[in-house]
Amino acid sequence: MGKQIDNGQQPQAAPVIRRVWRKSSGFDGNYVGLGSYTSRYDGRNNGSGTMLVYVSGGQSTVNKTVPGGDTGINTWALGASVNGYGAVSAGDNNSDFAKSGSISFAVPAGNNFTVISDPLSSAGCSPGNFNLVAYQ
């Protein structure tokens, strides 16, 4: 084992460096309710950063008996596009049980987006209702 040398000085602590975290993504962390809609919503991200959109619901507004099932009001469908390109879609055409769903997608700054709810349209069960929330 090596010999310890005492030079009479106390060990110095490492300097504390304080830094402020700065966001660079353009997000300011706000959720904004965009409202409740039937059938279709057209929007635009006028912010400087990417906007995240959450859509819930999609239930049919038509209480109609469908062949081989219960009622169209138990179906749901949601779809979204950004600048005309399909971004996401989901749904359930099983008419036996009540249900709803959700989708989420990103919208770059300066881009348009559309949300459509068209559940079981082949049986006349459209349009659907949905709620929109955005985060930016």
Distance, in Å, from the CA atom of 110 to the CA atom of 107, rounded to the nearest integer, reads 8
Q: Which CATH code fits 31-135? A: 2.60.120
**pLDDT tens digits, residue range 22-74?**
445 444 688 999 999 999 999 999 999 999 999 999 999 988 888 877 888 88
Cross-strand partners of 107: 51
Q: How far is CA 92 from the centre of its chain?
A: 19
Distance, in Å, from the CA atom of 33 to the CA atom of 25, rounded to the nearest integer, reads 21
The pLDDT value given to residue 108: 97
Distance, in Å, from the CA atom of 118 to the CA atom of 121, rounded to the nearest integer, reads 6
Strand 31-38 versus strand 101-107 pairing type: unpaired
Read off the DSSP letter of residue 67. T
Delimit the domains of the chain by residue range: 31-135
